[in-house]
Structure 1
Amino acid sequence: MTHRPEAPAVPAPSRDLAPRFLTGSLFRHVFVMASTAAIGLVAVFAVDLINLFYISRLGEKEIAAAIGFAGVVGFFQISLAIGLTIGITAVVSRKIGAGQRDEARRLAVHSLLLMTAICAVVGSGSVPFLHPMLRALGASGETERLAARYLAITVHSLPLLGLGMAAAALLRAAGDARRAMNVTLSAAFVTAALDPVLIFGAGLGLDGAAIAALVSRCVLAGVGLYGVMRVHRMLGPVERRWLARDARALATVAGPAVLTNFATPVAAAFVTHSIAQFGASAVAGQAIVDRVTPVAFGLVYALSGAVGPVLAQNLGARQYDRVRQGFRDSLVFMVLAVGVAWGGLALGQGLIVRAFSAEGQAAQLIHAFCTWLAPGFFFIGALFVAQAAFNNLGRPLWSTGLNWARATLGTIPFAWWGSRYGPVGVVAGQMLGAVVFGSLSMWFAFRLMRGLGRHTGTATPATSPTPQVPEAGCVPLPQAAEAGALAPLVHVETRH
């Protein structure tokens, strides 16, 4: 008989890890989680937008274009961290919802260790490849040199960014949306304060923006860890004998989520490459649109991560009707958020063009996006909500497949066709692909909801000290938020 290690001793559970989403209005839970997460996200992206505003005031299009190219490279790295946080939120939320608080603490501390190690390898390991990556995107000359210089300063701080994001994910998993919001707000305020001082006051220009980003990531990690360690006491002791097992549980959701998130920067890279052929002004215009978009649609960007704990906790408690209602309420919330954002962009497009001194193709691209391309976010928002359901309710590979299909079949041919009509045509083609695959994602999501809970597997007692790990090719139904489960569609087999 194989000896199995006993669960490590941990402090007595506190009230902070009590599941918070099993009762009450689901729309309110979705609204609170999404709006508080959006405040933090919008603050970060608004500072990024302000950063570009300061850079544009230097009067050099090459610098603004360099920020655009550097943003695409950084997007790949940040997408890795986002995918890992999706896995962290799913597995820890499920344990909290099931009342397995000791296991939630152990998973939390191991998740932070894994996040830090992976981000350190990816961040510092990318330095030798910065110039080849930038040239592949279409950067050249002074623009390439400036972008590489900016990234050479920021990539080494990726572990700090990942650590702060993971801490915020743990706080959301515990239901503390306000403190998770404060993590990102603190970093945003630091960046907002340092940017003008370093860019203009110290005369450092683009280097000043990079240094400000580095300092803000230190603050992000520090504030996040304080909330996790001191306020909620969510971290148990590190147990090496459980580390590999917990890594597999995390990878079950985080692996597909990372692959899913990589699809988006791949699509962004192709779009940037397509726009680069029209010159630095077009790339600068795309950089402005890329930074205005998450500020305007912050609620939509926040929704996919914010709704995850709501769905996962109710799935852990096997309250399937509340899972379905939570999904429907998320869609209603998304439609309202996109409508308000589109109206704001349409009314404020002239101000955006003047604020960033956009001319020529850059101004044309901004006007087109704010007027008639922004409504495409109804379908991008639908894709985000569907992915939250896939990642937390049993089909993370659906999310991966559909996102990659959108990034390839839904982007490359459409953007290539649109490039005949200039940079606006490229973005319009990308949005048309989002319409197709956003609609397809919703069809799959509603199919997932209809099948949820029709069959039941062998339940694992809530006090079980041992996390279930799926056999190769099998998904244990009770461990829904780690591996996921759609009962009618999976082969159910648990390891005993």
Structure 2
Amino acid sequence: MTSPLPSPQAADAASSSGTANAARPLWQVFMVFLGPMLLSNILQSLSGTLNSMFLGQMMGVKALAAVAAFFPVMFVFIAFVIGLGAGASVLIGQAWGAGQPDKVRAIAGTTLLAGLVMGTCVALFGGLFTQPIMRMLGTPADILEQATVYSRIVLLGMPGLFIFLLATSLLRGVGDTLTPMWSLIVSTGIGLVSTPALIAGWGGLPRLGVASAGVSMILGFSIALSWLAIQLRRKRSVLAPNRALLRAMRPDWGLLRAVLRVGIPTGVLMIATSLAGLVVLSLINGFGSNATAAYGAVNQINAFAQFPLISVAITASILAAQSIGAGRSDRLPAIARTALQINMAIGGATAVLGSIFARPLLSIFITDPDVLHVAVELLRIVLWSGLLFGAFASLAALMRASGDVLVPTLITIGVIATLELPLAWMFSRHFGLVGIWMAFPVSYGLTLALQTWYYQAIWKKRPIRKMV
């Protein structure tokens, strides 16, 4: 099976960005995509971890709490941008596969304009009403001032952050995963240096306190955006910031509706999953601080275990969109099979290694023997559940490439609401803390069964057409 990059434009982009050309087997195309995308996901997570580490170690718990207080608001905005980027990357993948660079720019221009307008509204409204927002979130009085300072800086930087996150997502739609990876390396590197420098006042720099994290974030994505613009112009990318792209930055309500058709359900799914996580955390907290510590350590490791599985799903969506655009919907079953096989291989290897080395890995975070014993058991359940998670995520991503996102999203949210959370509560009453984790493989298994049924019985029998 060959790569679904049939057009001359797509082949040129694949060559320049390091992705596969049309002669490569499909599994090789997946692997070439996965490397840069996996590193990008790790860098995004690492950036926040490093900022938290610097604040906690150099300024204390209150500074760390002040930043954490803004996280619920930040997550909603990031979910919106990720959803918008997911919708746009599907449309761009279809246009790129069809060899329509003008349509690629039109979709990108409409999406970037929407992101810029939304980011500007957030900056103006959030900047004016930061303190009332933080009060509404119930921010403790002893960190309210610091939390307000940090939050206002981040909110004012939202227009640029939205553009940066959208740009990296749009580039993946044309098969370029290397350039976004390098831009995230630049952004993370700037933060790695500037956050402690601004906290401590290195080299005569002002000591900005908790504001250092916000300023460093803005500095990082601003420099990374400038670097990105230079690289895209040098490579003559279809998404390079030039007159053609600027002309495309105008409202196109038809394109925007198509983007939001995919983007809104994707963003809602992220928010619903996050809310479910808060419910699970409240159940865990009921077992005491040791249980919470075990949960935190398991999550740290599981987050990195899930990065490859999520990256496989994104890759499946991109390659499927390009195939649909090229009029080669016959390749979609092969893309689905390859995604599931790679997920099984990566997820299985991760689960085996994680199970074998669970104790030394968790010992990095946990020193208490009793907590460590519980965490080891929980990690093994979570890692093996990842095989089911990766499989249904890939199927949903493949169907999303055709614009069919509502039913897969409703299946996932429905299982979370009607099975996962009730089972977590019920199992916790009968099996204790381990019972909460036992609910995950059961709910993941049902989600996979329903997604597979919908894929086989309904989606595969529908004619697959381009969205625009």
**Same fold (TM > 0.5):** yes
How far apart are the structure 2 equivalents of 1:347 and 1:247? 48
Structure 2: stretches of 5+ with no match in the other structure: 1-8
**Identical pairs, percent:** 20
Contact 1:154 1:210 (8 Å CA) reproduced = yes
Q: 1:200: how far off?
A: 6.3
Deviation at 1:56, TM superposition (A): 5.9
**Counterpart contact for 1:349–1:367, Cα < 8 Å:** yes
Q: In structure 2, do the counterparts of structure 1 residues 192 and 267 end up closer, same or farther at CA, with 3 Å as the change threshold?
A: same
Contact persistence 1:116–1:162 (CA under 8 A): yes
Q: How does 1:373-384 map to 2 (within 5 A)?
A: 373-384=382-393
Partner of 1:386: 395
Which whole-Å CA distance do the structure 2 matches of 1:227 and 1:98 have between them?
25
Contact 2:320 2:401 in 1 (8 A): yes
1:266–1:407 CA contact under 8 A, matched in 2: no
Contact 1:84 1:254 in 2 (8 A): yes
How far residue 478 of structure 1 moved from its aligned partner, in angstroms, is 3.5
Alignment partner of 1:183 is 2:187: no
Displacement after TM superposition at 1:142 (Å): 5.8
Taking the aligned partners of 1:66 and 1:349, their CA distance within structure 2 comes to: 32
The alpha carbon displacement at 1:148 in A equals: 6.5
Residue 409 of structure 2 aligns with an amino acid whose one-letter code is: T
Residue 402 (str. 1) matches residue 417 (str. 2): no
2:220 paired residue among 207, 216, 223: 216
Give runs of aligned pairs for residues 249-260 of structure 1, distance below 5 A: 249-260=258-269
1:238 maps to 2:247 = yes
Equivalent-residue separation in structure 1 for 2:346 and 2:51 (angstroms): 25
Structure 1 residues 60 and 338: alpha-carbon distance in aligned structure 2, compared to 1, 3 A threshold: farther
> Using the alignment, how far apart are the partners of 2:216 and 2:12 within structure 1?
34
SS of 1:175's equivalent? coil
Question: 1: CA distance between counterparts of 2:71 and 2:370?
Answer: 20
The question of 1:331 aligning with 2:335 is answered: no
Letter in 2 for 1:442: T
Residue matched to 1:159:
159
Alignment root-mean-square deviation, CA: 3.7
What secondary structure sits across from 1:411 in the alignment? helix
Residue in structure 1 matched with residue 447 of structure 2 by the alignment = 437
| Cα distance in 1 between the residues matched to 2:143 and 2:446 | 35
The CA deviation string for residues 15-65 of structure 1, in whole angstroms up to 9 with x for no partner, is: 755897765311111111122111111122234344455556579777767
Partner of 1:261: 270
Partner of 2:6: none
Aligned to 1:97: 97
Larger CA deviation: 228-237 vs 247-256: 228-237
**Do structure 1's residue 370 and structure 2's residue 379 form an aligned pair?**
yes
State the SS of the aligned residue for 2:245: coil
Which residue does 1:479 correspond to in 2?
466
Partner in structure 1 of residue 5 of structure 2: none
With normalisation by structure 1, the TM-score equals: 0.76
Structure 2 CA distance, aligned partners of 1:424 and 1:337?
Answer: 25
Greater mean deviation of Cα atoms: 182-191 or 62-71: 62-71
- 1:274–1:129 distance in 2 versus 1, CA, 3 Å: farther
C-alpha contact (below 8 Å) 1:164/1:217 kept by paired residues: yes
Pairing 1:280-299 to 2, within 5 Å after superposition? 283=292, 286-299=295-308
State the Cα deviation string for residues 343-381 of structure 1 (Å, max 9, x = none).
443355445544446658875664344233221111211
Superimposed CA distance per residue, residues 272-297 of structure 1 (whole angstroms, 9 cap, x where no aligned partner): 34445556665565444444333233
- How many Å apart are 1:257 and its aligned residue? 2.4
Give the corresponding residue for 2:3.
Answer: none
Q: Which stretch has the larger CA shift, 264-273 or 353-362?
A: 353-362
Please say which of residues 109-118 and 249-258 is displaced more in the overlay. 249-258
Task: Give TM-score scaled by structure 2 length.
Answer: 0.80
* Cα offset, 1:103, TM superposition: 1.5
Structure 1 segment 327-366 matched on structure 2, within 5 A: 327-356=336-365, 359=368, 363=372, 366=375
Is the 1:62–1:280 contact (alpha carbons within 8 Å) kept by the matching residues of 2?
Answer: no
Structure 2 vs 1, CA of residues 118 and 229 (structure 1 numbering), >3 Å: closer, same or farther?
Answer: farther
